[in-house]
């Protein structure tokens, strides 16, 4: 039994504006969903038809138990209001497991919701303007935007209003209700941040001759086979953003593979057709779109409301009350917890005197009570009065003044959210894995938590040479954990020795995000229970090998390219030195390696039909 707690009262002193957000949800859809569930239960709706409908409305089947759903709440551009967090808290208590989960695509997921209760969750979401519509299924999924958009020192303009306008244009749009497969659109803030090379459409804000526009990348994506997106043209002016997006979706709709579920993402179409041909077709299709799109349709794409919402007199700078020297200074294990947290969880914004705070979660999980307290903290301390969730499964609270940082920290500490390391290698990403996903082979979710706990315990987050490295873990090859863009990535599988099966991960090196993002290279297999030891061993070798100020990610990149200059030159060298840690002995020699995290029972690789595709 537990008591619900009431969040701290808001002091409002710092809040300069309250946004009015677009209403994404529609009440009638919740009633239709409840009706369809009844029809399905009465056998009046076929399983296939119902699955398609259910996914279109953001309810994904739970691992081997289809009477339960994972409800995926879209958070367009990752921007979320305090009252929305409060509502998600209550819904998670009432209908889910009392915790919510931040996904790698800026959704918030509620797991193990009984199918009959999904409509109630949707109803609650509508009350605060949120929706699950087209969060799953063969549709345009949540439109992502860098959580640093608007505050990034390297950006040329804020992409957020464009991300919201694109999301608004395509949601419920007849042209993308039944695509060959899901479709992902990601906006960046600058060339460094954002996931633009691993999306169907990735966009980096750009300015040419004083004109706003984007660098548009097409046909990227992670999965069993991953591809990096291609640059469409040097510069796409903002007035061609809609037509370019429409043209791409239309081509995919017309030419995409509707037969083979394993190869029907747009990246396969681009790959099979060849980029040159696809590029020519997009440019041609764009002219057709421009000539044939009715003005009334084009008018539906409107960045003005989102822009006005964003022009809500956000402060350009804050009067700097106290110095925050610690941000640029070194810390170590012995540093006071507050200083360590400042160093690893706080960055300065381009707006002088304002800071963005990253709240460290474990693999994206947060309790209902923590959500409520976080909502109160946002109301109290963020001058923009909102938060953004990040693809690293954390929350970013922006526009916080320097002199509020100590109080901010102590409030987080009071609810167990003041862990350090959010901006470092310690903040491991993990998909939901065998905690709820049909496709998962291993418990990647728990592993990510274990990795993070161990690295924080060892103070790895205080080591600046490791800071720009990332660890990302998926429970199968399908890449929801984005393992291919990690410095050190892992995806789950199973290895057999004799008649015994062991949970293992394939380790990849050298992936990266951003406009110059690259995919990681496969190194070797590692038993699940040896992943932490392997990471520690890699760090140990790096420490011996590093030259000067070379960071871990730089060192790993050199090795991956076969350009190492120390005793470890290439992948073969590193494999040889890691083998004693990563080898899998027989079950009699080490039975522990034949169990996965989170269970004592013998490991077996159970999966069921994936639900990514409707």
Binding of residue 445 to other proteins (CB under 8 A): yes
Closest Cα partner for 487 from 507, 463, 471, 506? 471
b/e sequence 451-489, b meaning 16+ C-beta within 10 Å = bbebbbeebbbbbebbbebbbbbbbbbbbbbbbbbbbbb
Judged by CB under 8 A, which of 32, 66, 94, 231 binds other proteins? 94
- Minimum distance from residue 96 beta carbon to other proteins (Å): 7
Identify which of residues 3 and 299 has a Cβ nearer to other proteins in the complex: 3
Among 90, 173, 177, 178, binds other proteins (CB under 8 A): 90
Say if residues 107 and 72 touch (Cβ distance below 8 Å): yes
Q: Helix, strand, or coil here: 494?
A: strand
Q: At what angle do helices 444-457 and 531-545 cross, to 10 degrees?
A: 40
Select the span of 89-97, 277-285, 465-473, 532-540 touching other proteins (CB under 8 A): 89-97
Q: In whole angstroms, how close is the CB of 80 to other proteins at the nearest point? A: 17
**Nearest residue (CB) to other proteins, 112 versus 157:** 112
Sheet containing 471-474: order of strands:
429-430, 471-474, 488-497, 500-509, 521-527
Contact between 299 and other proteins by CB under 8 A: the answer reads no
Cβ atoms within 10 Å of 353's Cβ, excluding its own: 17
CA distances from 179 to 137, 188, 244, 249, 495 (A): 9, 24, 17, 8, 36
**Contacting other proteins (CB under 8 A), which of 101, 182, 340, 467?**
101
Of residues 97 and 225, the one with the C-beta less far from other proteins: 97
Count the residues in the chain: 614
**Interface with other proteins includes 111 (CB under 8 A)?**
yes
Looking at the Cβ atoms of 95 and 509, the one nearer to other proteins is 95
Residues 6 or more apart whose Cβ sits within 8 Å of residue 443? 433, 434, 435, 475, 503, 528, 596, 597, 598, 599
Is the CB of 94 or the CB of 225 nearer to other proteins? 94
**Residue 358 makes contact with other proteins by CB under 8 A:** no
Min dist CB 190 to other proteins, Å, is 32
Residue 481: closest CA among 227, 223, 184: 223
Least distance to other proteins from the beta carbon of 134, Å?
Answer: 23
CB atoms within 10 A of CB 586: 13
Q: Which of the stretches 74-82, 112-120, 152-160, 252-260 binds other proteins when contact is defined by CB under 8 A?
A: 112-120
**What's the rounded Cα separation, in Å, for the pair 608 and 341?**
41
Q: What is the DSSP letter of 537?
A: H
Tell me if 479 contacts other proteins by CB under 8 A: no
Indicate the residue among 356 and 432 with the shorter CB distance to other proteins: 432
Q: How far apart are CA 48 and CA 16, in angstroms?
A: 49
Closest distance to other proteins from the beta carbon of 536 (Å)? 22
Q: Assess 62 for contact with other proteins (CB under 8 A).
A: yes
Cβ atoms 103, 395 nearer than 8 A:
no
Q: Which stretch binds other proteins (CB under 8 A): 198-206, 208-216, 307-315, 594-602?
A: 594-602
d(CA 505, CA 578): 14
Cα–Cα distance for residue pair 256/614, rounded to 1 Å: 15
Is residue 452 near other proteins by the rule CB under 8 A? no
Among 59, 159, 366, 374, binds other proteins (CB under 8 A): 366
List the x/- string, 115-154, binding to other proteins by CB under 8 A: -xx-xx----------------------------------
Neighbouring C-beta atoms of residue 430, cutoff 10 Å: 31
Exactly one of 56, 77, 84, 99 binds other proteins (CB under 8 A); that residue is 99
HEC assignment per residue over 78-108: HEECHHHHHHHHHHHHHHCCCEEEECCCCCE
* 4-43 binders of other proteins (CB under 8 A): 4, 34, 37-38, 41
Q: Binder to other proteins among 381, 509, 597, 603 (CB under 8 A)?
A: 597
Site string for other proteins, 414-433 (x = CB under 8 A): ------------------xx
List of residues 6+ apart from 425 with CB closer than 8 A? 455, 460, 461, 466, 467, 469, 470, 471, 487, 552
Confirm if 364 and 106 have CB atoms less than 8 A apart: no
Q: Is 436 in the site for other proteins (CB under 8 A)?
A: yes
Instruction: Decide if residue 394 touches other proteins (CB under 8 A).
Output: no
Q: Work out which of 11, 23, 65, 280 binds other proteins, going by CB under 8 A.
A: 65
User: Measured between alpha carbons, how far apart are the two ends of the chain, in Å?
Assistant: 39
How many Å apart are CA 242 and CA 249, to the nearest integer? Answer: 11
Question: Considering the complex, what minimum distance in angstroms separates the CB of residue 281 from other proteins?
Answer: 43
63 makes contact with other proteins (CB under 8 A)? yes
Closest distance to other proteins from the beta carbon of 60 (Å): 14
In angstroms, what is the minimal distance from the CB of 506 to other proteins?
20
Is 114 among the residues that bind other proteins (CB under 8 A)? yes
| Binding-site ranges for other proteins (CB under 8 A) | 1, 3-4, 34, 37-38, 41, 62-65, 90, 93-99, 101, 111-112, 114, 116-117, 119-120, 361-362, 365-367, 370, 432-436, 443, 445-446, 449, 596-599, 606
């Amino acid at each position: 039994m537990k008591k619900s707690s009431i969040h701290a009262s808001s002091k409002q002193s710092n809040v300069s504006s309250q946004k009015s957000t677009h209403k994404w949800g529609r009440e009638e859809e919740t009633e239709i969903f409840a009706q369809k569930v009844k029809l399905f239960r009465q056998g009046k709706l076929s399983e296939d038809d119902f699955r398609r409908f259910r996914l279109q409305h953001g309810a994904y089947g739970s691992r081997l138990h289809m009477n339960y759903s994972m409800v995926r709440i879209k958070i367009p551009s990752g921007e979320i209001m305090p009252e929305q967090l409060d509502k998600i808290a209550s819904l998670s208590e009432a209908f889910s497991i009392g915790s919510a989960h931040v996904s790698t695509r800026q959704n918030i997921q509620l797991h193990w919701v009984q199918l009959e209760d999904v409509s109630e969750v949707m109803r609650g979401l509508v009350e605060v303007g949120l929706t699950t519509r087209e969060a799953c299924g063969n549709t345009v999924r949540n439109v992502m935007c860098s959580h640093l958009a608007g505050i990034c020192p390297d950006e040329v303009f804020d992409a957020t209003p464009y991300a919201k306008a694109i999301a608004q244009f395509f949601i419920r749009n007849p042209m993308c209700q039944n695509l060959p497969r899901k479709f992902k659109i990601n906006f960046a803030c600058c060339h460094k941040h954002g996931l633009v090379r691993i999306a169907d459409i990735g966009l980096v804000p750009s300015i040419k001759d004083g004109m706003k526009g984007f660098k548009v990348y097409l046909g990227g994506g992670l999965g069993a086979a991953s591809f990096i997106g291609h640059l469409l043209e040097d510069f796409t002016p903002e007035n061609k953003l809609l037509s370019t997006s429409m043209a791409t979706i239309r081509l995919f709709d017309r030419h995409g593979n509707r037969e083979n579920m394993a190869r029907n993402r747009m990246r396969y179409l681009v790959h099979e057709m060849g980029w040159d041909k696809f590029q020519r077709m997009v440019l041609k299709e764009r002219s057709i779109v421009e000539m044939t799109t009715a003005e009334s349709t084009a008018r539906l794409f409107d960045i003005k409301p989102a822009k006005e919402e964003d022009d809500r007199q956000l402060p350009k700078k804050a009067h700097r009350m106290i110095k925050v020297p610690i941000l640029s200074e070194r810390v170590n294990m012995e540093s006071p917890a507050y200083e360590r947290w400042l160093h690893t969880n706080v960055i300065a914004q381009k707006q002088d005197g304002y800071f963005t705070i990253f709240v460290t979660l474990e693999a994206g999980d947060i309790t209902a009570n923590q959500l409520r307290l976080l909502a109160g903290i946002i109301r109290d301390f963020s001058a923009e009065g909102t938060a953004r969730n990040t693809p690293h499964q954390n929350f970013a609270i922006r526009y916080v003044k320097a002199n509020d940082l100590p109080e901010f920290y102590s409030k987080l500490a009071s609810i167990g959210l003041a862990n350090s390391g959010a901006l470092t290698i310690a903040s491991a990403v993990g998909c939901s894995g065998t905690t709820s996903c049909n496709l998962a082979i291993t418990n990647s979710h728990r592993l990510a938590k274990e990795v993070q706990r161990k690295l924080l315990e060892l103070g790895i987050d205080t080591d600046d040479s490791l800071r720009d490295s990332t660890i990302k873990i998926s429970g199968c090859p399908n890449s929801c954990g984005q393992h291919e863009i990690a410095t050190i990535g892992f995806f789950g599988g199973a290895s057999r020795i004799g008649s015994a099966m062991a949970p293992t991960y394939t380790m990849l090196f050298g992936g990266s995000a951003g406009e110059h993002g690259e995919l990681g290279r496969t190194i070797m297999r590692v038993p699940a229970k040896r992943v932490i030891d392997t990471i520690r061993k890699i760090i140990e070798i790096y420490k011996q090998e590093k030259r000067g100020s070379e960071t871990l990610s730089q060192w790993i990149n050199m090795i991956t390219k076969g350009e190492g200059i120390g005793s470890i030159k290439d992948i073969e060298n590193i494999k040889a030195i890691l083998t004693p840690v990563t080898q899998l002995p027989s079950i009699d020699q080490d039975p522990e390696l034949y169990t996965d995290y989170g269970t004592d029972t013998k490991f077996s690789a159970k999966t069921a039909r994936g639900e990514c595709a409707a």
